[in-house]
Copies of this chain bind each other. A is one copy, B any other.
Amino acid sequence: MWHTMNLILLFPGDFTGDGKVLLTGRRAEHILEVHRSKAGDELTVGLAGGNIGRGRILDLAGGSAELAVQLTQAPPEPVSADLILALPRPKVLRRVLQTITTLGVKRIYLINACRVEKSYWSSPFLSEESIREQLIIGLEQARDTMMPEVMLRPLFKPFVEDELPGIISGTTSLVAHPGAALECPRNVSGSITLAIGPEGGFVQYEIDRLRGIGFTPIHMGERILRVEAAVPALLSRIC
């Protein structure tokens, strides 16, 4: 799949010593084919979980790329919001995980809801490997290195009753709900927990449970946005 690799994400296993890395496969191809780089060019790189910096291409041969890297800069600040997201359709899930990662969210709970189709929970896109792939694409797009955590919670009630109160403790907790009385607040300070329902929204029972533990329902106007647009629109307004 085509995407913009604004940063080449490095892992400890890539290092060969003396600040050098040897890349093969997807990343080497990207350097050759999308960046159309040559020896001597510099690219933005970052170590997963660590600093970002520059990588100078030493050699491009046989489908691999050798770079000399200097990692001198901290990655961008995370956004101060955790996301509780009703599991979207598999095809949407992949894109939305990229988008959420790009926006700088570091904790994502994918939860069940009445309007989440049961079959979504058996999608291969929920495998650890597939999720990780989307997170890496999101980090590469955003020039970030800090991998988000994605937690799957296929049971709504125990999650909301037993786990969610701890997650939202000390945060401003908001649930996006078309038709809510309150407009989405702007530029909220401190930590935020944002819950977003499935296509069709949370049902009233779910909204009531979320209100019951301290969530405030908020709306973004009369227009109903798809989840891919709702996530950046909400985070950008709230944070």
Contact = CB atoms under 8 A, between A and B. Distances in A.
Interface in A189-227: 199-200, 220-226
B222 A143 contact: yes
A200 B3 CA distance: 11
Given A186-B186, A187-B186, A232 B236 contact: yes
Contacts of A223: 76, 102-104, 142-144
Nearest to A221: B76
A224 B99 CA distance: 11
A87 to B, nearest CB: 16
Interface string A90-127: 00000100110011100000000000000000000000
A239 to B, nearest CB: 9
Nearest to A237: B236
Nearest to A78: B223
A17 to B, nearest CB: 30
A225 B230 CA distance: 15
B229 A99 contact: yes
17 contacts: A4-B224, A6-B224, A104-B223, A141-B225, A141-B226, A142-B224, A186-B186, A225-B232, A228-B229, A229-B231, A229-B232, A230-B232, A232-B233, A233-B235, A233-B236, A234-B236, A236-B237
The list of the 3 closest CB pairs from A to B, nearest first, reads A233-B236, A76-B222, A232-B233
